[in-house]
Amino acid sequence: MHDIRTEFSSTSQPAPHKRAPGSVTNRSVISNRPWCLPGVDNRLPQARRFRDLCKQFAEEAGGIDHLSEAEKAQVRQAAMLTLRAEALQTSQVLGELVDGDEAIRLSSEIRRLLDNMTSKASARKVEAGSTSDLRNYIQAVAR
């Protein structure tokens, strides 16, 4: 038999600039689709409601393109808590016993998360507005 093994050398690997670029979709489910959770059938009504809430909360917080990963996690957390609060409300309306403390804690936590997100969005808008105002001022002075 012939020995086909070759010796490894530094030239056997392509130069970094010749390598294929990394795949955009070769990331986790959360990175590719931030409002879809892994291991969840996203066709379920609860999953659709979760995605809808995430999209709405993200828009109120300034749009998904302007959110950091931590803020996206807060959006998901707020959506999950909102789903739970809605389930408790449904149970209450149907006449089932509901833990009042849980409902109060949920509503307080949702309010806190949403206030935090909207205040950051407002701060971003002020920063963006001040930048454009500064540009307008400089252009006006330059004329």
Backbone angles phi, psi at 3, to 5 degrees: -90, 110
Residue 53 has pLDDT above 80, yes or no: yes
Whether 95 contacts 87, CB under 8 Å = no
Q: Is the dihedral of CA 12, 16, 22, 28 positive or negative?
A: positive
- Given this model, what pLDDT does residue 62 score? 85
Close Cβ partners of 61 (under 8 Å, ≥ 6 residues apart): 67, 71, 75, 117, 118, 120, 121
Of the candidates 61, 37, 112, 59, the residue with the CA atom closest to the CA atom of residue 82: 112
Residue 121 has pLDDT above 90, yes or no: no
- Given this model, what pLDDT does residue 58 score? 92
Distance CA 79, CA 111 (A): 11
- Tell me how far the alpha carbon of residue 124 is from its chain's centroid: 17
Count of all residues that appear for the chain in the document:
143
**77-109 pLDDT, tens digit each:** 999 999 999 999 999 999 999 999 999 999 999
Q: Which residue has the tokens 């309010």?
A: 111
How many contiguous H segments (helices) and E segments (strands) does the chain have? 4, 0
The CA–CA distances, whole Å, from 124 to 26, 105, 115, 121 equal 31, 29, 14, 5
* Confidence bin at 119 (pLDDT 50/70/90): confident
